[in-house]
Structure 1
Amino acid sequence: MQEKSLAITKVNQGVYAKARLSRDPRFDGQFFVAVKTTGIFCRPICPAKLPKEENVTYFTHATTAMAKGFRPCYRCRPDSAPQSSAWEGVNTTLSRAMKLLSALPIQSVAHISSRLGISERYLNKLMISAVGISPKQFQNMQRALFAKQLIQQSALSFTDIAHTASYDSLRQLQRAIAQYCNTTPSALRKTKASAHNDITLFLSYRPPYDWAYVRAFLSMRAISGMENVTENSYQRWFNLQGDVGYVRVEHVNARNGFAVTINIPDLSHLHSIIENIKGMLDLNADPALIKHSLVQAGLSENEVLSGIRLPSAWSVFESGCRAILGQQVSVKAAIGQVSLLVHTLGAKAKTAKTDNPDTIHTNASNCSVSGENAYCFPTPESVALADLRFLRMPDARREALRRFAQLFTENSSPEHSEILALKGVGSWTLDYIKMRGERQPDVYLEGDLIVRKMAALHPVEPEKAAPWRSYLTLQLWKLSDNAQGKIENKERKKEKDK
């Protein structure tokens, strides 16, 4: 794909100027407004008094504004903005590079360029062309923004924040905040540090967001004891490299985001967990762009959900297990099998003390997952080594699950060709993994029976929905649910009439 820069064009300037004046939250995260007279840059939704147009300049990435000497606003917190919509117009290598460079703990630029299959020199060229700074500078600014977010939103001590943001010492954190934010950690903090294990943050999205759809989707697939879905929240336990943690997200419609509570014993995992939550709830999607593509594919405006999102699984491995156990059965039957797997092989987490050596303790204080014990999804090792005869299914499917788990014990990120080569794993299973596990936005599940039926009833041209065909798959599933609901209502009405 041809390389393109993220630089602001004259056409974009006009659009951004109108969006800035309207404070339209649908543009949040797509660009940032830097004020020349104050040296501060903001999100377009910032409540501060609007500056004159001749005093502002626009940037598509927060780090670009910081590289030009502007410091982030304390009120609107640019570090909390949803990311741009899949970096439209930017090549895949650059998108992957930005993701890897933003990850914590930080990796060396040489290692990242090796993972991307390019030279350090070419990676440097890509980053300077896109955001005007080197890969190393991008890394430093990204972790400074993450540290700023923790300082302003959490009650973690500065020492814990330094550790979480991959700084070797508190002094390094202080230098970074002084360099990029022109202040001190103490000046940024509004709440007192606490030894409480619950970490609270707020994650924004670009509205509209169809929480009712996401909630229903997650609720239908929730595993009792591991997940709990309420009217306004989603909660679950998870196992990350042997550490058991807990997360709760509460939808706050008035603020266009989610209030998040995380409890983990090892803070070095915090950044990856936050990014996982963003991905699971699809917080960085651009709903207007997606809806336009689905209408282009042949669906009517009324048929497309406003604010559709792609609710994903917690991990690629979990999505694969769910897909294999869901082959050729209903969602309800599949969840029954997944629940059996979790309750038999998943690690237990309990808030109260116990003498059971197989129970992992946690200090989560805000957990409402039902049951005496809470469960984590089993690890690949536990599934690969277990006698799976407790699963009520054909032997061939049990063996497919075992082989899948064995593959993940050998490589945590196996190639698609390796997954597809497994006996009992076909294209539908791999596509499901790519869509819900890897969170790829452009997967059309054409092998799915419901998708085929609904595509016949609602003639669509899937290629015109690219690069958002995963959302087309979800939309067709939703249309099937609506049709089934109408049939059930008619049947109930007939019974009443009798």
Structure 2
Amino acid sequence: MNLTPETCYKALLARDPRYDGRFFTCVKSTGIYCRPVCPAPKPKLAHCTFVPTAAAAQKAGYRPCLRCRPESAPDSPAWAGTSTTVTRALRLIEEGALDEGSIEALADRLGLGSRQLRRLFTRHVGAAPMAVAQTRRLLLAKQLLHQTELPVTDVALASGFGSVRRFNETFRRLYGRSPGSLRGRGGADTGKAAGPDISLLLPYRPPYDWQAMLDFLARRAIRGLEVVDGQGYRRAICLGADIGEVAVTHAPAESALRASIRFPRFDVLPGIIARLRRLFDLQADPEAIRYALSRDERLAPLVQARPGLRVPGGWDAFEIAVRAILGQQVTVAAATRLAERLVDRLGSRVPEGTCSPGLDRLFPHPEDFTQADVISVGMPGARAAALVQLASAYREEPRLFDRRHDLDETITRLRGLPGIGEWTAHYIAMRALQESDAFLASDVALQRVMAIEGRRPSARELLAMADAWRPWRAYAVMHLWHADAASTGTAFQKENVDAALP
């Protein structure tokens, strides 16, 4: 954490929202840890210890504040600045890797030993991997208790606890009270059965360019699978054999997005939330991105015009990879039409009454891709073969789209897949894997915006220019795409210049 105790204390006294989630204040005299924006009276500096993560605070024995609710703070950018291995591990933990799996299994997935993983977490996060996982479970449980009427049994399941008994024991040890006591009116559990939807606030660090996010998703929305309107974004989802729906709207007063989740199983809720955070890029730190990109005089006015621009992610990495191949050498509109035909031809129908009107299709599973069916969608045979081979590779290796140790290794791995060249690999890394430094150097729109006196830079020259934008080159891509759309009147015409498929 590049913040001195003095700086943290000044931010605490000012209740500066720019520092929300950047650090947490542990108050020695009360044993409680808080966000910088906490409305409680401020302690003396001598009574304060500042840590970068909620997990570090809880490891040190501090309890979460019931007034500022640390679970509602944006994810700490301190985690985004850790080693690549720790960043990958945190993402897997967020997806539930330690809810049922072991530290050893997580370490093996990351390609290192469990002892080394623990050392990295202690150094970069201030807490062990299991402590991070437990903190996430507890803070999600607390959020569910405050924001929903789920019975405590369902809250325990939805937040990743294996049993209600363990949930109650952990909660009492940390908070000194029962889970149900955190609810209003004396704290009794409502006892109500769960409704069809769970509604939660997913915080972000402002500013957030919600309209730009909606516009991007709207141009790529697949009819039957997704709906984007003036209110927000909806899509049908399928996890395992179960089908449901997510709907996301903007709650600017709370600096959050409101997610309504309708799904028959509660135990997958952490994974659904993790996907939504990736899809809407809720972990971004606009201030850090603005500072880095504004040092370039060409980018500075673009960043000033859209300080809250995010990199839209994807619900599923395989889906993004398929759509990226469909979009090679064609416009966004043409690629979306192909995707709609693919979903209509290969995707399953949503049972009637499962989702809201307008959502009646699911994106095809990898096993649904056959050469004959894909060709019938109406595309060149080579491209259809690439999609079939991609689906086959994903079936054989479910972790095909895991992030690697660094961006170069990730790109090399992706380029080894059929039909995926440099542009497509970086596009997948940017949208599906949250690689903030992915960069589409051969993109014609980027080259057009960065032209000097009418001469467009080559991919090599553009890469050299973009070196100063690291590690936020993916955000530079979004700013340049917006600038090109504004100057040409296009709507993000994708100009993928990967070599034609063999």
Corresponding position of 1:374: 360
| Equivalent in 75, 94, 97 of residue 86 of structure 2 | 94
- Of residues 162, 173, 193, the one that matches 1:168 is 162
In the alignment, which residue of structure 2 is the partner of 1:255?
Answer: 254
**8 Å CA contact 1:101, 1:107 repeated in 2:** no
Q: How far, CA to CA, are the matches of 1:137 and 1:228 in structure 2?
A: 38
Please state if 1:444 is matched with 2:443: no
Q: Deviations over 1:47-91 (max 9, x none)?
A: 333334333321110011112221111222112221122635421
Q: In the superposition, relative to structure 1, how do residues 428 and 130 fare at CA in structure 2: closer, same or farther (>3 Å)?
A: closer
Confirm or deny that 1:150 pairs with 2:178.
Answer: no
Picking from 449, 453, 464, the partner of 1:454 is: 449
Query: Which residue number in structure 2 is paired with residue 495 of structure 1?
Result: none
Distance 1:86 1:226 in 2: 35
Matched, 1:478 2:482: yes
- Alpha-carbon distance between aligned partners in 2 of 1:324 and 1:134, rounded to the nearest angstrom: 40
Q: Which amino acid aligns with 1:222?
A: A
- What secondary structure sits across from 1:41 in the alignment? strand
Q: What is the CA-CA distance between 1:418 and the residue it aligns to?
A: 5.5
Paired position in structure 2 for 1:31: 23
Contact kept in structure 1, 2:436 and 2:474, CA below 8 Å: yes
Correspondence for 1:184 among 174, 178, 182: 178
What letter is aligned with 2:365? T
5+ long unaligned stretches in structure 1: 1-5, 353-361, 488-498
**Which amino acid in the other structure matches residue 403 of structure 1?**
Q
What TM-score do the two structures reach when normalised by structure 1?
A: 0.87
How far apart are residue 422 of structure 1 and its match? Answer: 3.9
The one-character-per-residue Cα deviations of 1:238-278 (angstroms, maximum 9, x if unpaired) are 11222211001110111110111101112221101101101
Q: How does 1:336-415 map to 2 (within 5 A)?
A: 336-352=337-353, 362=354, 364=355, 367=356, 369-370=357-358, 374-384=360-370, 387-414=373-400
Report whether the alignment pairs 1:306 with 2:285: no
Q: Aligned-residue CA RMSD in angstroms?
A: 2.3
Match of 2:193 in 1: 194
Deviations 1:378-404 (A, max 9, x none): 111112466223322222111111111
Deviation at 1:425, TM superposition (A): 2.3
Q: What CA distance in whole angstroms lies between the structure 2 residues aligned with 1:375 and 1:19? A: 48
Aligned partners of 1:288 and 1:307 also within 8 Å: no
- Specify the SS of the correspondent of 2:300: coil
The question of whether the paired residues in 2 share the 8 Å contact of 1:290 and 1:468 is answered with yes
Structure 2 counterparts to residues 10-159 of structure 1, below 5 A? 11-85=3-77, 87=79, 89-104=81-96, 105-159=99-153
1:287 aligns with 2:286: yes
1:326 touches 1:333 (CA, 8 Å); kept in 2? yes
Match of 1:348, SS state, is coil
**Runs of 5+ in structure 2 lacking a partner?**
402-409, 492-502
Deviates more, 1:453-462 or 1:339-348: 453-462
8 A contact 2:94–2:270 mirrored in 1:
no
- Structure 1 residues 151-192: Cα deviation after superposition (integer angstroms, max 9, x where no partner): 222222211222233333211111011122222111112373
Q: Distance in 1 between matches of 2:385 and 2:371?
A: 12
Residue pair 2:53, 2:78 contacting (<8 A) in 1 also: no
* TM-score between both structures, scaled by the size of structure 2: 0.87
User: Which of 458, 465, 472 pairs up with 1:468?
Assistant: 472
Structure 1 residues 297, 107: CA separation in 2 closer, same or farther (over 3 Å shift)?
farther
- Looking at structure 1, the residues matched to 40 and 173 of structure 2 have their Cα atoms a distance apart, in angstroms, of 24
Alpha carbons 2:83, 2:124 under 8 Å: kept: no
Partner-residue secondary structure (3-state), 2:100:
coil
Q: Give the C-alpha shift of residue 410 in structure 1.
A: 1.3
C-alpha spacing 1:392/1:79, structure 2 compared with 1 (3 Å): same
Structure 2 distance, partners of 1:188, 1:423, is 53
Mapped contact 1:42–1:72 kept (Cα < 8 A): yes
